[in-house]
Amino acid sequence: MKIKCPKCKGNADLAQDFSLVTCQDCKLEMSYGEYVKYVAHNDVTYSDILGDYAGSTEGQTAGSLDEWD
């Protein structure tokens, strides 16, 4: 599957089992989990993406991005 490379903004490949993201243009290679964290930390458009993994946040906050490191 083709996804946007967070480093060079070109086309990166996401493995079929969602385990690895690679970009031939800039030689990026990282796990999908690292990719999600990288995008969430570096692109304000997706800064709330980690909140989706926090489960129910009723009555509490999901925390800051730094707490997810």
Q: Which domain holds residue 41?
A: 2-54
In a domain, 68, yes or no: no
Question: What pTM was estimated for this model as a whole?
Answer: 0.63
In a domain, 19, yes or no: yes
User: Which pLDDT value is given to residue 9?
Assistant: 92
In a domain, 47, yes or no: yes
Q: What angle do CA 32, 10, 5 make, to 5 degrees?
A: 20
Integer Cα distance of 64 and 68 in angstroms: 7
In a domain, 69, yes or no: no
In a domain, 66, yes or no: no
Integer Cα distance of 17 and 3 in angstroms: 14
In a domain, 10, yes or no: yes
User: Which pLDDT value is given to residue 48?
Assistant: 66
Structural domain total, the chain: 1
In a domain, 59, yes or no: no
In a domain, 45, yes or no: yes
Over the chain (69 residues), the average pLDDT of each successive run of 10 is: 93 95 96 88 70 56 57
